[in-house]
Amino acid sequence: MHHVVGNPTISVSHDHVMGATTDAGPLRSWRVTIEGPGVCHAALIGIASSSAEVSDGLVATIVEHGMLTTYPGSRDNDPFAAAAVRTWIDENREALAELVIRLRG
């Protein structure tokens, strides 16, 4: 599933099942790729899901909690901490928030 924000494209695909199981399903590793002018980055994000299919809700969760929300100490293990990616997120924060609203719509 692909979404264009600013100029780069955000792509999400299922990578593998990580083994642990939650009430929401097994913990799965999702590959998130951001590609465009000045940005080329891939990261693996762990999110529990009963399905290996990429859904709008899954992409919204990745953008909202992986890109837009910061937690104390999160910079230490932030999969999007690369300077070019962080700059792109900061410059496109409003468009990313609008994407989350649209996907949850």
| Residue-wise pLDDT tens digits, 22-61 | 898 999 999 999 998 888 999 999 999 999 999 999 999 9
Q: Which domain holds residue 46?
A: 2-104
pLDDT of residue 76: 67
Contact present, 53 and 90 (Cβ < 8 Å): no
pLDDT of residue 33: 92
- Three-class SS of residue 30? strand
Number of domain units in the chain = 1
pLDDT of residue 38: 85
pLDDT tens-digit readout, 63-90: 998 888 876 666 667 888 888 888 889 8
pLDDT of residue 36: 87
CB count, 10 Å around CB of 82? 15
Contact present, 68 and 93 (Cβ < 8 Å): yes
Sign of CA dihedral 27, 8, 88, 96: negative
Residue 34 forms beta bridges with which residues? 10, 41
